[in-house]
Amino acid sequence: MLNEKPYLTIDIERRGYGKRYTWLPVDQLTREGFVIDCEHAYVRPQMYDIRPGDIARWREGERLVEASVAQVSYEGERIHVQVEGAHPLPPEAFHP
């Protein structure tokens, strides 16, 4: 139990379309981007619909952070997403 990894999730929204993903599990998450490892999963990396310009939101503790997807690339069974402009939203921000 001491080596448990935190359960990391993100939300993806596309302007003019709405939410694409809610609580999408990711394997790595920083303010520079995130990685989804599909090695032992049913879904393949190319099946995810994440595009440059999409908005990504995630929690860092009690704060909600927002960034814009800058680049999406594939490396074997992994999808790498780079984000830009990551910034914490005000505490009163609400995004269902």
46-71 tens-digit pLDDT: 999 999 999 999 999 888 999 999 99
Amino acid at 51: R
HSE, CB side, 13 Å, CA atoms: give it for residue 80: 6
pLDDT on residue 1: 54
Residue 94 has pLDDT above 70, yes or no: no
- C-alpha to C-alpha distance for 8 and 25, rounded to whole angstroms: 6
- C-alpha to C-alpha distance for 81 and 26, rounded to whole angstroms: 11
Q: Which of residues 15 and 95 earns the better pLDDT score?
A: 15
Decide if domain 8-88 falls under CATH 2.40.10.220: yes
Q: What is the pTM of this model?
A: 0.88
- C-alpha to C-alpha distance for 66 and 85, rounded to whole angstroms: 8
- pLDDT > 70 in the chain, percent: 93
